[in-house]
């Protein structure tokens, strides 16, 4: 396992070693501990966890800057996967993480009820948030309010292909009755949001899944050159224009409500101070903003902290420094 330290105000080696030890075991679970009655905590020294990919790094840095502005001392660490950082979040070794509502709800549901448990995430944000908070609370976790930014699966076609067949939505593609080779990950063959869902919800004729990954350069190039007709990517992919692609709207809401949500350890970071500091982001952050910030890191090679700072300064959420 690898922990990449992105130190800001301080580095706490002992804490990171303890986190690594926790990750190697099952992790301290707060399940089945009964009703939580203690007041939410308000530690002034907080650790923010990132899942180690560009968007998660960016959101962690945004959270850190907002919390620092509110008077907290903050460290940011990048942890390789949810299997490591979620138990650490429960134990209080990590205090805050950026998450995605439907994905995290289904992950906690599988953890509590088994891998075969029926999904609780859905396109309905209110229902998804209710399920997520119900699953998170017994673990000592509080899920803060979601904003407008959503990182969902999305499907793109070549702009010339869309123009030729008058396509703006996935419904349009289904009605066109065109054979479609889909560039995506291997799992797309079985996942309900991917090939099966496209067939069932939209009537799209998926004749093959080309296993080139989700939103990879190779997948987008395959659509660009006509080898495939559509690619699975995400709503925050800022590079599709570079490949001459356009997104088709998910007009029947096949995809789940994967709105960005902060998740906090209630005993250490469940206070109104943390909630209000991070809640300020909900007034400004959009899916397009996230895509733009991702592009600045991935294409322009800017540091996530610099991009996060510039964004918050531009929105007047922190003073220019």
Is residue 160 within a helix (H) or strand (E), and if so which, with residue range? helix 159-165
For the segment 13-35, the average pLDDT, to the nearest whole number, is 43
Tokens standing for 211? 């296993």
Rounded Cα distance between 84 and 52, Å, is 12
The average confidence (pLDDT) of the chain is 89
Positions of E strands within 189-255: 205-211, 230-234, 245-248
HSE, CB side, 13 Å, CA atoms: give it for residue 281: 35
Indicate the SS3 state at residue 230: strand
Q: Is the pLDDT score of 31 beyond 90?
A: no
Helix axes of 82-91 and 101-113: crossing angle, nearest 10 degrees: 80
Rounded Cα distance between 280 and 187, Å, is 37
For the segment 259-282, the average pLDDT, to the nearest whole number, is 97
Residue whose structure tokens are 């397009």:
288
Higher per-residue confidence, 321 vs 293: 293
Q: Is the pLDDT score of 157 beyond 60?
A: yes
Confidence of residue 46 (pLDDT cuts 50, 70, 90): very high
Q: Is the pLDDT score of 317 beyond 60?
A: yes
Determine the pLDDT at residue 252. Answer: 97
Rounded Cα distance between 84 and 19, Å, is 8
Please choose, from the candidates 290, 236, 238, 302, the residue with its C-alpha nearest in 3D space to the C-alpha of residue 62: 290
Give 82-136 pLDDT, tens digit per residue: 999 999 999 999 999 999 999 999 999 999 999 899 999 999 999 999 999 999 9
Rounded Cα distance between 227 and 242, Å, is 17
Determine the pLDDT at residue 13. Answer: 35
Residues in the chain: 321
Q: Is the pLDDT score of 161 beyond 80?
A: yes
Q: Is the pLDDT score of 1 beyond 60?
A: no
Q: What are the distances in angstroms from CA 207 to CA 62, 150, 194, 221, 236?
A: 42, 29, 13, 19, 27
For the segment 5-34, the average pLDDT, to the nearest whole number, is 42
Q: Is the pLDDT score of 24 beyond 50?
A: no
Percent above pLDDT 70 for the chain: 88
Rounded Cα distance between 319 and 321, Å, is 6
Q: Is the pLDDT score of 228 beyond 80?
A: yes
Tokens standing for 208? 């093959």
Of 34-43, 204-213, 230-239, 296-305, minimum mean pLDDT range: 34-43
Determine the pLDDT at residue 36. Answer: 54
Percent above pLDDT 90 for the chain: 82
Q: What are the distances in angstroms from CA 135 to CA 97, 121, 168, 194, 282?
A: 16, 12, 37, 26, 23
Residue 202 main-chain phi, psi, to 5 deg: -115, -10
Determine the pLDDT at residue 191. Answer: 86
Q: What are the distances in angstroms from CA 231 to CA 107, 190, 206, 242, 291?
A: 25, 16, 12, 14, 17
Determine the pLDDT at residue 19. Answer: 52
């Amino acid at each position: 396992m690898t922990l990449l330290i992105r130190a800001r105000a301080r580095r706490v080696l002992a804490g990171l070693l303890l986190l690594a030890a926790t990750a190697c075991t099952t992790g301290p679970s707060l399940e089945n501990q009964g009703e939580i009655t203690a007041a939410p905590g308000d530690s002034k020294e907080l650790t923010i966890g990132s899942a180690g990919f560009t968007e998660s790094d960016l959101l962690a840095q945004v959270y850190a800057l907002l919390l620092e502005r509110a008077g907290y001392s903050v460290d940011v660490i990048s942890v390789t996967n949810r299997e490591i950082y979620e138990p650490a979040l429960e134990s209080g070794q990590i205090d805050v993480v950026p998450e995605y509502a439907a994905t995290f709800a289904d992950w906690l549901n599988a953890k509590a009820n088994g891998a075969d448990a029926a999904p609780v995430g859905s396109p309905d944000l209110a229902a998804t948030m209710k399920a997520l908070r119900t699953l998170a609370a017994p673990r000592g976790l509080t899920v803060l309010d979601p904003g407008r930014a959503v990182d969902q699966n999305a499907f793109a076609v070549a702009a010339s292909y869309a123009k030729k067949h008058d396509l703006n939505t996935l419904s349009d593609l289904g009605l066109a009755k065109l054979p479609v080779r889909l560039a995506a990950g291997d799992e797309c063959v079985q996942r309900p949001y991917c090939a099966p869902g496209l067939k069932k919800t939209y009537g799209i004729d998926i004749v093959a899944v080309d296993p080139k990954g989700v939103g990879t350069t190779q997948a987008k190039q395959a659509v660009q050159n006509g080898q495939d007709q559509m690619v699975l990517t995400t709503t925050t992919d800022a590079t599709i224009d570079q490949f001459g692609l356009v997104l088709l709207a998910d007009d029947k809401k096949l995809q789940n409500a994967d709105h960005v949500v902060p998740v906090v350890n209630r005993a250490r970071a469940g206070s109104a101070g943390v909630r209000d500091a991070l809640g300020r982001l909900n007034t400004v952050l959009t899916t397009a903003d996230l895509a733009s910030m991702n592009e600045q890191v991935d294409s322009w090679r800017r540091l996530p902290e610099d991009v996060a700072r510039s964004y918050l300064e531009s929105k007047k959420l922190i003073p220019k420094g």
